[in-house]
Each structure stands twice: as structure tokens, then as C-alpha cells.
A and B are shown apart, each in its own frame.
Chain A
Amino acid sequence: DVVMTQSPLSLPVTLGQPASISCRSSQSLVYSDGNTYLNWFQQRPGQSPRRLIYKVSNRDSGVPDRFSGSGSGTDFTLKISRVEAEDVGVYYCMQGTHWPSFGQGTKVEIK
């Protein structure tokens, strides 16, 4: 099984400031078609997960452009350029290249 490791697990941020979450996989996430199936999800309190980013860096429809994803191979990052109050929640990375697995989650809160 592919293990996904996120850091930090807790991220207090000031409104308007940037935030960054790291995700590392125990194996390469490059698929046989050349794509890398690394997704990022946001889960607000009491809600279902919502996909923000797919294939490392592609934003889903309706996702603000302050969210961006980057990385390759086994090392990935989600960045929020300027944190807003509505960004509070838990963020998960998930690999879909192999049978799916999720990171432990990173809780983003406002300082």
C-alpha cells in the first residue's frame, strides 16, 4: 500500500497570510499514462470532502485561484496564497495512481 504523509498536521495561520501543506508518498505517483494522480481535498467542519486540485496542479471548477498545487514524483505541496476565513478546515492529499490512499489531514485554523 502507498503511504501518504502530510505535514504539518496543524497549521494556525493569520488571515491574509500564505499557507503551505506538504504531502509525501512512499512510492512514485507517476502512472503508466505519464500523469500523476495526486489530488487535494478540503473538508470544512460538518461537510463532505470537496476536491480542490486534481493531477497535482489542476484546480476544480469554482475553486478560487488562491489555491495552487505543485510537485512531482513523491513530493507535493498545496499552497494558499492569502488565507481567508472560509478556508478553515482539514486538507487531505490523496493518491489515485495506485489503489487510493489519503494523507492524515492538515487542520487549518485562524490564529
Chain B
Amino acid sequence: QVQLVQSGAEVKKPGASVKVSCKASGYTFTSYGISWVRQAPGQGLEWMGWISAYNGNTNYAQKLQGRVTMTTDTSTSTAYMELRSLRSDDTAVYYCARDSPTSTVTEDAFDIWGQGTMVTVSS
């Protein structure tokens, strides 16, 4: 079945970096993109950015520009999200979701989500 499986929970100190993975199965990885969405404890959903698994193009939310990098490994159908210079307010559950393969919108966007990865930033 179509699914996205994410890496396990992480605990990091302020100033460190974290890299979360999202492995796709059940569909052709390079025919879609991946968006990353985070949710701080008790809060709503925040879109972080998008990467095309088709051509590697990216677009990041303005507030995270310079701290986030999204990549893909098409040989393993895996997407990665790295966040640097972590702060306490980066503590959140991080989700990956299937998205459009290009910046052109499609109806498939956000139809499949990963199970989430809890990232805790604490000294």
C-alpha cells in the first residue's frame, strides 16, 4: 500500500541540527514531491517547505529560510529534512506528506502523510 514511514524520535540540544527521513513505498517516488509540515505541542499545522522528487526543486517557508534543507535520495525513495541551529520553539512533531511533483498544483497533494517524528529541543 501507499505509505510514508518516518524515522524515530530525536532529542537535541539548542544549537544542534536534526535530520528526519521519510521513506516512500507503494508508488513511483519520482512522480511526486514531498512537503514537510510541523506541529508544536498543542498547536496547529505549519507548512515548512516542499521538495520535488522529480527534479529536486525546493521551496521553503520564509521563516525557515537559511536553517532548513530538504533533499531526496531517489535510489531509496527517501526524502530528508534537515533543520539547523535548533531552538526550543522547534520542538514539534514533524510530518512528511506526499505533494505535487512540480510547482504546478495537483489534486494528489497532501493525500498521504507519514506517522510523524517527534523532535525535542532541550538543554
Report B51 CB to chain A, min CB distance, Å: 13
Q: Is B110 an interface residue (CB 8 A)?
A: yes
A100 pairs with B47, CB closer than 8 A: yes
B47 pairs with A51, CB closer than 8 A: no
Q: Which of B62, B97, B110 has the most CB of A within 10 A?
A: B110
A99 pairs with B105, CB closer than 8 A: no
Residue from B50, B62, B95, B105 in contact with A49 in the complex, judged by beta carbons closer than 8 Å: B95
A85 to B113 CA separation, bound complex (whole angstroms):
23
Tell me the residues in window 9-67 of chain B with beta carbons closer than 8 Å to chain A beta carbons: 35, 37, 44-47, 50, 59, 61-62
Q: Which residues of B contact A55 (CB under 8 A)?
A: 107
Q: Is A50 an interface residue (CB 8 A)?
A: yes
Q: Which residue of chain A lies nearest to B43 when distances are taken between CB atoms in the complex?
A: A105
A102 to B113 CA separation, bound complex (whole angstroms):
15
Number of B residues with CB within 8 Å of any CB on chain A: 21
Q: Which residues of A contact B71 (CB under 8 A)?
A: none
B45 pairs with A49, CB closer than 8 A: yes
A33 to B115 CA separation, bound complex (whole angstroms):
32
Q: A31-B105, A37-B105, A37-B107 are in contact. Are A48 and B114 (CB under 8 A)?
A: yes
Q: Which residues of A contact B59 (CB under 8 A)?
A: 99
Number of A residues with CB within 8 Å of any CB on chain B: 28
Interface string of B77-116 (1 = CB under 8 A from A): 0000000000000000001010000000101011101111
Q: Which residues of B contact A94 (CB under 8 A)?
A: 45, 110
Report A13 CB to chain B, min CB distance, Å: 20
B44 pairs with A51, CB closer than 8 A: no
A48 to B3 CA separation, bound complex (whole angstroms):
12
- CB<8 Å pairs between A and B, sample of 7: A37-B105, A43-B45, A49-B45, A97-B105, A101-B47, A102-B44, A102-B47
Which A residues have a C-beta under 8 Å from some C-beta of B? 1, 31, 33, 35, 37, 39, 41, 43, 48-51, 54-55, 58, 60, 90, 92, 94, 96-97, 99-105
